[in-house]
């Protein structure tokens, strides 16, 4: 058996075509969805990611603004920039690219963003709303993962989901979103004992630990759905995931690749949230 590959790249393209139609309709009503991105410093990975977001905005008709500031910017100056964007009527989504310089509090920055413009879905108010199943801006990577699973009509209800990793950005929220879909969710992390025993019980296995080929075919139940969130580089500089794809695909029923899997969907759901925010202004 060889698994069916869930291509985030293809799904993202489909969704962005629909988003372009939505932005065109909004523009007819006099509203152009606007996304503002603040990038502090010159981290190459962050710069690459921000450029990809800008290209995606252009592709879908979203107005984007990028404010590149030095990594020496003071915390108070950064918070002031966020405050100005909170008050800007033409901006519907605000994203501060992480990681931030060491002297700036990530917590303060996230909490400074207006929850109604928090299109990254990291503000405690949006996280709280998500937890209790209320309407909220959902964190983009977990949101994209759920969309990928649903795109293949894979039933989530009643399934055992195992999430390997418990970060606030991916692990915890993706487990909660799948719980909201009536899955039974187990988290594994660095302190988990007998991890293979747990991962082998998963109907759906989500891996987000940032360790190359951490999960092998032996860790996967026959026929499981495997979602690989990891992005790592091997010794040759090639991008690889947290899952040993070539061997895992012989065991799994569905699997996501790296690259071309979860990554494109993360940016796509950011666009979705920005358009949703803009729609709220005309409803």
Q: Which is catalytic among the residues 81, 97, 172, 203?
A: 97
3 state SS of 137: coil
Angle at 67 between CA 65 and CA 72, to 5 degrees: 170
Q: What are phi and psi of 70, to 5 degrees?
A: -70, 155
Distance between start and end Cα atoms, the chain? 49
Helix (H) or strand (E) holding 141: helix 140-151
112 CB-near residues (< 8 Å, 6+ apart): 79, 82, 83, 86
Q: Is 159 assigned a catalytic role?
A: no
Cβ atoms of 230 and 252 closer than 8 Å? no
50 CB-near residues (< 8 Å, 6+ apart): 37, 39, 66, 97
**What is the distance between the alpha carbons of residues 179 and 173, in angstroms, rounded to a whole number?**
10
263 CB-near residues (< 8 Å, 6+ apart): 8, 231
Q: Which is catalytic among the residues 15, 81, 117, 120?
A: 120
Q: Is 53 assigned a catalytic role?
A: yes
Q: Which is catalytic among the residues 15, 53, 117, 249?
A: 53
Cβ atoms of 103 and 76 closer than 8 Å? no
Q: Is 118 assigned a catalytic role?
A: no
Active-site amino acid positions: 53, 97, 120
């Amino acid at each position: 058996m060889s698994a069916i590959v869930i291509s985030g790249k293809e799904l993202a393209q489909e969704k962005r075509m629909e988003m372009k139609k939505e932005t065109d309709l909004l523009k007819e009503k006099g509203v152009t969805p606007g996304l503002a991105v603040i990038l502090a410093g010159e981290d190459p990975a962050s710069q690459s990611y921000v450029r990809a977001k800008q290209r995606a905005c252009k592709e879908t008709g979203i107005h984007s603004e990028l404010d590149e500031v030095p990594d020496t910017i003071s915390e108070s100056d950064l918070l002031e920039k966020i405050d100005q964007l909170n008050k800007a009527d033409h901006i519907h989504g605000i994203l501060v690219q992480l990681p931030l310089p060491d002297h700036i509090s990530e917590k303060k920055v996230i909490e400074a963003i207006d929850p109604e413009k928090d299109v990254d879905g990291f503000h405690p108010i949006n996280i709280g709303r998500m937890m209790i199943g209320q309407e909220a801006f959902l964190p983009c990577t977990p949101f994209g993962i759920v969309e990928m699973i649903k795109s293949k009509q894979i039933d989530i209800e009643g399934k055992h989901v195992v999430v390997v990793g418990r970060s606030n950005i991916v692990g915890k929220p993706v487990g909660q979103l799948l719980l909201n879909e009536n899955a039974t969710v187990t988290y594994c992390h660095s302190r988990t004992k007998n991890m293979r025993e747990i991962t082998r019980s998963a109907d759906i296995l989500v891996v987000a630990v940032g360790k190359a080929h951490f999960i092998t075919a032996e860790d996967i139940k026959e026929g499981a759905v495997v979602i690989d969130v990891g992005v790592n580089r091997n010794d040759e500089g090639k991008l690889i995931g947290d899952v040993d794809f070539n061997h895992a695909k012989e065991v799994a029923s569905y699997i996501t690749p790296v690259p071309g899997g979860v990554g494109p969907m993360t940016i796509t759901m950011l666009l979705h949230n920005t358009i949703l925010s803009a729609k709220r202004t005309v409803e």
